[in-house]
Amino acid sequence: MGSSVMMAFALMLIIEGILPFVAPTAWRETFLRLASMADGQIRFIGLSSMLLGLVLLFVFN
């Protein structure tokens, strides 16, 4: 199980790094927009992301 967790973490880092590598300006603008959002909006985005991840885990597992 530890190996799977580390592989998932490595894959997450690779995926997270694609946008700043390919389009740093768009990445910066996106985070500037996120920084100006209200806490509730950011929490909703985080919750939606977690729920989508859970659904994908159940579908592809």
Question: Which pLDDT tens digit goes with each residue over 46-58?
Answer: 999 999 999 998 9
Burial of 9 (0-12, 13-18, 19+ CB in 10 A): exposed
**Mean pLDDT, range 27-48, rounded to an integer:** 94
Domain segments of the chain as ranges: 2-60
Tell me what pLDDT residue 29 has: 95
Confidence of residue 60 (pLDDT cuts 50, 70, 90): confident
Q: What is the pLDDT of residues 3-19, one digit of tens each?
A: 889 999 999 999 999 99
- The reported pTM is 0.71
Q: State mean pLDDT over 14-39.
A: 94
| Closest of 8, 3, 6 to residue 61, by C-alpha | 8
